[in-house]
Amino acid sequence: MKKLQMALLSLREVTAGTWLRLALLIAALTAVGLRLFGAEPAGEADWAEKVLSFLLLLLGAAAGYWKNNSFTEAAQAADDILLLLKEQDRAARRGKREQ
């Protein structure tokens, strides 16, 4: 039960940008998957629709990958600091609940 509560708490902290990137990636993967298996989402797709679907997939994948990976030394150091801050925040929340 505690794990479920923690999961729900962490979902509340997810940013709108994260949800947008996830929705974009799901939409693009769905469109490409439909075409892969022969189903056309809106009838006969022309070349422009196929290119747009590919660009959405590429944009969603690239944005998701870039946002979730730290490529530079500064970004990796920032990740370490962020982890420490999150741990301190969780400890403070636990302390408030115990009081």
Reported residue count of the chain is 99
Q: Are 53 and 28 in contact (CB under 8 A)?
A: yes
Q: Are 55 and 25 in contact (CB under 8 A)?
A: no
CA distance 21 to 59: 9
Q: Tell me, what DSSP letter sits at residue 13?
A: T
User: What are the pLDDT digits (tens) for 29-72?
Assistant: 787 777 778 776 555 567 777 777 778 778 877 877 777 667 67
Mean pLDDT of 2-14: 68
Q: Is the pLDDT of residue 85 over 80?
A: yes
CA distance 18 to 71: 18
Q: Is the pLDDT of residue 77 over 70?
A: yes
